[in-house]
A and B are shown apart, each in its own frame.
Chain A
C-alpha cells in the first residue's frame, strides 16, 4: 500500500514537472512579443499626453464620439488613466458621448497590443475582435448616454 502511494506520488511529481516545463516553454515563445508590447506602452505613455488628446476634440457630437473611440483604441495603459483623462476631458467641455466612447475603446480595443493578440490568439480573431470592439465603443457610448438622460 505504502509502495503504491510512493509510486503515485512519484508519477504525480513527474507529470507536474513535465507539465511545468511544457508550460514554461510555451510561455517563453510568447515572451518576446509581450516584452515588445510593454516597451511600446512605455513609449506611448511618454509621448501621448492629456493635452494632446484634448486638442483633437472639436465640439462636433458625432465626429467627437468617433474620435473618442479612435483615440481610445490607440491609447494604452491602466483603465484608471482613462477615467482620469476622461474626467479631465469632461471638464474641458468634451461631450459625454465622446468621453464614454474614449473610455470604452481604451479598455476594449488594443491597437498597441494587437501584435501580441494576433501572434498568440490568431490574426483573424484579433483583427475582427478589435474592429467589432471599436464599433461597439461608439454604439455602447450612445446607448449609455441616451439611457442616462432618460433616467436622470
Chain B
C-alpha cells in the first residue's frame, strides 16, 4: 500500500517536472519570437488568452466532474462500467460520453487519467477521444459546407473507426505487457 503511494507520488513528480520543462520550452519559443517579431508575439499571446477564457468554464466543469468521480465512483464501479468486465455496454458508454463531451480534447485528459487509475480500459479511453470528433452542435456547420449525406456517412464511419482504434490499442497494450512479462 505504502509502496503504491510512493510510486504514485514519484509518477506525479515526474509528470510535474515534464510539464514544467515543456512549459519552459514554449515560453522560450515566445521569447525568441518576441525578439524577431513582436507583433506576432502579441497576437499569439492574445490568441492564447482568448483560448483560456473560452475553455475556462469547461475546465471548471472537468474539475467538478473529477471531484464527483473521486467521491462517488469507486474503482469497483468504474471497473464494472468501463473496465474489463464492462463488455458492449462499456464501448457504447464511451461512444456516448465522447460525443456528448465539449471543449478541446486536452481538457478531458485529467478526468480520463482519473478514470484510468480507477480501472477504465485504455481502449475505451481511445474510443472516448475519437468520438469527441463527432460534434453534434457543430453538425449544422458541417452540413452547410459538405451536405447532409456527407455528414451522416462520415459520422457512421467515424464511430466504426473509433471502435477499431480502441481494439487496436488494447491489442497493442496487451502484446506489450505480455512481452514485458516474458522478458522478466
Seen from chain A, the residues whose Cβ lies within 8 Å of a Cβ on chain B are 15-16, 19-20, 22-24, 26-27, 29-43, 45-47, 78-80, 83-84, 86-87, 90, 100, 104, 107-108, 110, 113, 115-117, 119-121, 124-125, 128-129, 132-133, 136, 139-140, 143-144, 147-148, 151-152
Choose among B46, B112, B164, B176 the residue that contacts A136 (Cβ–Cβ < 8 A).
Answer: B164
- Given A38-B52, A42-B47, A110-B106: A136 in contact with B161 (beta carbons within 8 A): yes
The residues of A that contact B114 with a CB separation of less than 8 Å are 23, 26
Is B16 an interface position by the 8 A CB rule?
yes
Give 5 A-B pairs besides A33-B18, A86-B145, A116-B106 with Cβ atoms closer than 8 angstroms: A30-B19, A32-B20, A37-B106, A43-B29, A43-B33
Partner-contacting stretch, out of B78-86, B87-95, B123-131: B123-131
Q: How many residues of B contact A (CB 8 A)?
A: 67
Residue on A with the closest CB to B113? A120
Q: Which 3 A-B pairs have the closest CB atoms?
A: A42-B48, A32-B19, A33-B19
Residue on A with the closest CB to B131? A108
Seen from chain B, the residues whose Cβ lies within 8 Å of a Cβ on chain A are 12, 15-16, 18-20, 22-23, 25-27, 29-30, 33, 40, 43-49, 51-52, 55, 63, 66-67, 70-71, 104-107, 109-110, 112-114, 116, 122, 125-126, 129-130, 132-133, 135, 138, 141-142, 145-146, 149-150, 153-154, 157-158, 161, 164-165, 168-169, 172-173, 176
Are A113 and B154 in contact, with the CB atoms below 8 A?
Answer: no
- Within the assembled complex, what's the spacing in Å between the Cα atoms of A120 and B142? 31
B interface, over-half SS: helix
A-B contact pairs, 24 of them (CB 8 A): A20-B67, A23-B70, A36-B25, A36-B26, A37-B106, A38-B51, A38-B55, A39-B26, A39-B44, A40-B26, A40-B29, A42-B47, A46-B40, A83-B141, A84-B145, A87-B146, A90-B145, A100-B154, A119-B22, A120-B110, A129-B169, A140-B154, A144-B153, A148-B149
Are A121 and B153 in contact, with the CB atoms below 8 A?
Answer: no
Are B138 and A79 in contact, with the CB atoms below 8 A?
Answer: yes
A interface, over-half SS: helix
Are A107 and B132 in contact, with the CB atoms below 8 A?
Answer: yes
